[in-house]
Amino acid sequence: MKRSPAVRSLPPADDHAVRFARQREADRTATAEDYVELIADLLREEGEARAVELARRMGVSQATVTATVGRLQRDGLVETKPYRGLFLTDAGRAMAQAAKARHDLVVRFLIAVGLDAETAEQDAEGLEHHASEKALEAFARFVAKREAGGA
């Protein structure tokens, strides 16, 4: 008589479903986060955020930027002054600030864990959208320890 493998990697079905649902939710907000973060960066470092520059940096067509920015506007994150560039609402600024803090933390964490800076930047762009608050706290603790000369 053989016992079933003791390793049970399958959680209860509804717990399992919750994990995937959260992931889908994160995917849905990722584009908005990346756009507002970029817009904030451009406003800060270039003085303006033009749609054409977003298209270049996102690697996407200008038409796609128009459509996406339309959704961000609909969702109260962005305002546009035609031919004068893009601006953030208060909500947009708040999201951008949170996104940037998260992005920078993830980058520092990846570097602390041994990744080169360029790969860290690359990977952070995706990972940042899927780290929970708890994970970010753990990352922050780890980075603090490292940067305090803990090794």
Partner DNA sequence: TCCGAAGTTCAGCCTAGGCTAAGTTATGGC
Partner DNA sequence: GCCATAACTTAGCCTAGGCTGAACTTCGGA
**Residue closer to a copy of itself (CB basis): 33 or 77:** 33
| Residue with smaller CB distance to a copy of itself, 88 or 110 | 110
Q: What residues have CB less than 8 Å from 111, skipping those under 6 apart?
A: 117, 120
**Contact call for residue 26 and DNA (CB under 7 A):** no
Closest to 82 measured CA to CA, from 96, 98, 66? 66
Residue type, 141: R
Q: Which two tokens stand for residue 107?
A: 């980058």
State the Cα–Cα distance between residues 147 and 151, nearest whole angstrom: 8
Determine, following the binding rule CB under 8 A, whether residue 96 of this chain makes contact with a copy of itself: no
| 39 near DNA, rule: CB under 7 A | no
**Pick from 64, 73, 80, 123: which binds a copy of itself (CB under 8 A)?**
123
Taking the C-alpha atoms of residue 37 and residue 72, their distance in angstroms, rounded to an integer, is 12
Residues 77-116 that bind Mn ion (CB under 5 A): 103
Among residues 19, 22, 44, 61, the one that binds DNA under rule CB under 7 A: 61
Binding-site ranges for DNA (CB under 7 A): 24, 28, 30-32, 50-53, 58-69, 71, 80, 82-85
